[in-house]
């Protein structure tokens, strides 16, 4: 990425040099492994298990409904996470200044803001469920299954918004262990009730798809309850004078929370919107096409765990080196981290390609869309490396405080390129379903390639060194 060298020669030189600049490979791997395990156990595994359990119902429509709905709710999670980040900043700054009462008021305002916004979004999902699926262009069988499912999940969304605010406060006051324990316990509740309610085990009613929705509500209600009890009863928190039910007085802190959360929200939500749009465009391929999309997305989520972990690690490494102005070390660490992530992703994808019939059958018990996955996945796997590059490079830019570059790049590529092109492709009369699927899905990966080009050019210049504020995704 050095201006005086070609891109390829610069990269090769960077990955060969293990000691002179940046961290050693062993050090980066040591940082990456905990992030990889954390991402797998807390984020990928529960979703994967839920999908596998639903697949045992042997209904392609039910499996597709789960995937389509989770795709939509992922967008809601990103909005809630943004308010969690805003609460971290709001509480953390006051806590760092030893203004504990102000930090407590920040939590109170965050509680009310997320309660109000969470209520509005939950009500929209509940009362607009039929309209949302219709706007998606879903078939009647998916709408029939999805409406009660989304209505139940809406209650979980409300709990989720408040939960992220409470957890944001704990992280803001430098308590990271309690949120981790609470989240782990919540996941255990989810996994137990997901299995019990879907199939009707341990004396619980057999609820099928609706059991998955109820399990999510139980998960977030338990986590919210635990977080609230911990915050309100811990004697170390008395200095914050926390009174969650006290009314907001001047609204200054509430407005500051919103302004802090909005940029993070935009950044996080853009890619989620892209997947929602992708799902809508693939709706033209029917229920089996949507089910194939959901399965491929689950496979992709698992395969990209090394890249997700690498993006977190490189944000930390760059943010530390940035403060010391170790520019060469930053570039060296980026190149090495990309190589490590690429090796991990490559072998997982290779396994999925070689054993694609067996992997597809995990999600497709009836054999309705396995053939489509087998034909599609090998080619999409090659294009997926553009996603890996943009993930790691965007993490590096955030570590260097170039958050607006990432946000605007995603905004321009998503709305200026991907959405119009994928729409045009969906309107084409293409008899080969696999080819049409690859063209529509692949257009998103090509967009990630354009983002990668923008990020690389940013690092090959000098402007990225002038930023001085960072926000971690």
List, for residues 233-248, the tens digit of each pLDDT value. Answer: 999 999 988 988 888 8
DSSP letters spanning 340-398: HHHHHHHHHHHHHHHTHHHHHHHH-SS-SSHHHHHHHHHHHHHHTHHHHHHHHHHHHHH
With H, G, I as helix, E, B as strand and everything else as coil, classify residue 247.
Answer: coil
pLDDT of residue 470: 42
CA dist 420 and 175 (Å) reads 44
CA dist 258 and 246 (Å) reads 19
Which residues have CB under 8 Å from 20's CB, separation 6+?
A: none
Q: Which band of pLDDT confidence, cut at 50, 70 and 90, is reported for residue 10?
A: low
CA dist 119 and 97 (Å) reads 33
46, 153, 205, 295 from 191: Cα distances, Å: 7, 16, 16, 20
Which residues have CB under 8 Å from 6's CB, separation 6+?
A: none
Q: Is the pLDDT of residue 4 over 60?
A: no
Q: Which band of pLDDT confidence, cut at 50, 70 and 90, is reported for residue 18?
A: low
Q: Give the H or E element holding residue 250.
A: none
Q: Give the H or E element holding residue 205.
A: none
What's this model's pTM, rounded to 2 decimal places? 0.85
With H, G, I as helix, E, B as strand and everything else as coil, classify residue 102.
Answer: helix
Q: Which residue did the predictor score with more confidence, 326 or 229? A: 229
Q: Which band of pLDDT confidence, cut at 50, 70 and 90, is reported for residue 377?
A: very high
For residue range 382-410, what is the model confidence (pLDDT) as tens digits? Answer: 898 999 999 999 988 888 878 888 889 99
Q: Which band of pLDDT confidence, cut at 50, 70 and 90, is reported for residue 1?
A: very low
């Amino acid at each position: 990425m050095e201006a005086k060298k070609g891109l390829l020669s610069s990269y090769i030189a960077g990955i060969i040099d293990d000691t002179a600049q940046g961290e050693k490979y062993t050090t980066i791997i040591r940082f990456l492994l905990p992030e990889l395990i954390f991402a797998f156990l807390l984020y990928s595994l529960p979703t994967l298990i839920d999908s596998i359990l639903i697949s045992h119902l042997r209904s392609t429509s039910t499996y597709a409904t789960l995937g389509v709905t989770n795709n939509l709710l992922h967008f809601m999670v990103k909005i809630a996470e943004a308010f969690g980040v805003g609460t971290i900043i709001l509480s953390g700054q006051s806590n760092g200044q030893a203004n504990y009462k102000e930090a407590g008021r920040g939590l109170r305002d965050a509680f009310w803001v997320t309660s109000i916004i969470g209520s509005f979004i939950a009500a929209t999902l509940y009362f607009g469920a039929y309209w949302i699926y219709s706007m998606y262009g879903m078939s009647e069988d998916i709408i029939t299954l999805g409406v009660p499912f989304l209505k139940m999940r809406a209650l979980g969304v409300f709990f989720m918004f408040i939960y992220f605010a409470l957890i944001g406060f704990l992280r803001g006051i430098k308590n990271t262990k309690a949120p981790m324990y609470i989240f782990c316990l919540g996941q255990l509740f989810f996994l137990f009730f997901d299995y019990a309610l879907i199939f009707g085990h341990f004396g619980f009613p057999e609820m099928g798809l609706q059991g998955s929705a109820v399990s999510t509500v139980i998960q977030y209600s338990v986590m919210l309850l635990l977080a609230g009890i911990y915050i309100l009863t811990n004697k170390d928190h008395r200095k914050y004078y926390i009174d969650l039910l006290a009314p907001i007085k001047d609204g200054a802190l509430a407005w500051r929370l919103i302004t802090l959360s909005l940029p993070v929200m935009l950044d996080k939500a853009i890619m989620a919107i892209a997947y929602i749009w992708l799902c809508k465009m693939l709706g033209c391929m029917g229920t089996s096409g949507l089910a194939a999309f959901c399965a491929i997305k689950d496979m992709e989520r698992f395969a990209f765990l090394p890249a997700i972990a690498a993006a977190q690690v490189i944000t930390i490494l760059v943010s530390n080196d940035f403060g010391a102005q170790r520019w060469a070390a930053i570039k060296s660490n980026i190149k090495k981290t990309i190589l490590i992530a690429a090796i991990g992703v490559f072998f997982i994808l290779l396994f999925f390609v070689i054993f694609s019939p067996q992997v597809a059958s995990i999600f497709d018990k009836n054999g309705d869309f396995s053939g489509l996955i087998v034909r599609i996945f090998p080619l999409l796997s090659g294009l997926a490396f553009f996603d890996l590059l943009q993930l790691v490079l965007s993490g590096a830019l955030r570590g260097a405080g170039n958050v607006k570059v990432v946000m605007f790049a995603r905004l321009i590529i998503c709305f200026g390129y991907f959405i119009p092109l994928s729409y045009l492709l969906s309107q084409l009369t293409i008899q080969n379903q696999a080819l049409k699927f690859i063209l529509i899905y692949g257009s998103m990966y090509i967009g990630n390639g354009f983002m990668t080009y923008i990020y690389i050019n940013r690092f090959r210049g000098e402007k990225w060194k002038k930023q001085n504020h960072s926000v971690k995704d």
